[in-house]
């Protein structure tokens, strides 16, 4: 991330399994401090998968729910705010 910092415009907060941020194996204890260190102040977007829209889920080959849909954005937002220190 430090290498691309000068051109970084957008960060997707995504777990290794596309579930709720903070519920997987991503090393967030390294990621969030680096985001702050490089002075990034742009968008942080949760990127997660769900089966709530069956046609979309089938199109991207999602075959199981990783997290309840509401949990993805409610718990994910809390996790990001805590990680960034907001």
* Residue ranges of domains in the chain: 5-84
Tokens of 21: 């941020």
Q: Check: CB of residue 39 under 8 Å from CB of residue 20.
A: no
Supply 63's token pair: 């075959």
The predicted model scores a pTM of 0.77
Q: What angle do CA 64, 70, 74 make, to 5 degrees?
A: 125
Q: How confident is the model at residue 65 (pLDDT cuts 50, 70, 90)?
A: low
Alpha-carbon gap, residue 32 to 48, rounded angstroms: 18
pLDDT of 66 > 70? The answer is: no
pLDDT at 72: 83
Sign of the Cα pseudo-torsion (43, 46, 52, 53, in order): positive
């Amino acid at each position: 991330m430090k290498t691309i910092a000068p051109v970084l415009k957008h960060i997707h907060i995504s777990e290794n399994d596309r579930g709720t941020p903070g519920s997987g194996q991503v090393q967030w204890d390294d990621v969030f401090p680096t985001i702050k260190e490089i002075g990034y102040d742009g968008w942080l977007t949760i990127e997660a998968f769900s089966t709530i829209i069956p046609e979309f889920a089938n199109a991207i080959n999602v075959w199981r729910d990783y997290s309840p849909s509401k949990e993805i954005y409610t718990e994910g937002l809390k996790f990001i705010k805590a990680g960034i220190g907001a």
